[in-house]
Amino acid sequence: MSSRKPLVAGNWKMHLTAAQGVSLVQNIDDFCRELKADVEVVVAPPFTAIHSASTVIDIDRMQLGLAAQNMHWEAEGAFTGEISPTMLTAARVGYVILGHSERREHFFETDEVINKKVKSAISHGISPILCCGESLDIRESGETLAFIEGQIRAGLEDVSAARATGIVIAYEPIWAIGTGKTATPKMAEEVCEHIRNILGDIFGTTIKANTRILYGGSVKAENAALFFAEKNIDGALVGGAALTAGAFNPIIAAAKT
């Protein structure tokens, strides 16, 4: 782990009601208060649970951050079923997960759409957590680094260095998401180092040095510390193990420097 503040983000996906979410947030916060660690902890509830989570975070003055799992790029309009960046900022949402492989695969999100969302999030003061990751086919054909480079460059197209502060990148190999298979820490580090070099090429040395890059894909209490020990991995995007305090809190503890 580097001097960058570690970030542990829990992606709840399509799980937990508003009431369950409030209870989980309270349990995570109790743990964080005891731990007193210099770790940024973020939860990404489904839209129906964001407002109640936001209210309890605010009222109880919790240090937890809030992320959305997706958003539309327009501020408002006739887009049935969509949620806008202004709705998110009104709910005190600071981050948005964009380009998750499940949205790319099941909802046909392209790099172009993801780029529109990235630029919109930034212009509304929401930090994108831009996800990238290769399929097993791509890994086995030895094209991982080139593929990731394509996703990063396309996702960040037309973003200036001045506006890139605060962007977070999550490297999540598709074959490791929800499968129980993780990349080895060395495999993850190789890709995260590559991503950092690309950021340097696009934005220069400051963004390269300061951007947090997370690993995601079957992260759990037993393996988290191994990833966090790598030089270019600054935390984790956690799915399955983010749904209970019992599974998530030890991952936060593992990020303590």
Contact residues: ligand PGA, CB under 6 A: 11, 172, 177-178, 216-219, 237-241
| DSSP β-bridge partners for residue 205 | none
- Indicate the residue among 50 and 238 with the shorter CB distance to ligand PGA: 238
- Indicate the residue among 126 and 219 with the shorter CB distance to ligand PGA: 219
72 is annotated as an active-site residue = no
- Of 40, 172, 189, 230, catalytic: 172
172 is annotated as an active-site residue = yes
Contacts of 124 (CB under 8 A, 6+ apart): 75, 85, 86, 88, 89
Tokens standing for residue 200: 């340097």
* Cα gap 12→15, rounded to integer Å: 6
Count CB neighbours of 219 within 10 A.
30
Q: Which residue has the tokens 């300061």?
A: 210
- Of 40, 51, 72, 100, catalytic: 100
- Indicate the residue among 6 and 216 with the shorter CB distance to ligand PGA: 216
Which residue of this chain has its Cβ atom nearest to ligand PGA in the complex? 239
Classify each residue of 125-141 as buried b or exposed e, where b means 16 or more C-beta atoms within 10 Å of its C-beta: ebbbbbbbbbeeebbee
- Indicate the residue among 40 and 172 with the shorter CB distance to ligand PGA: 172
Type and span of the H or E element at 237? strand 235-238
Tokens standing for residue 24: 């989980």
Task: Return the active site residues.
Answer: 100, 172
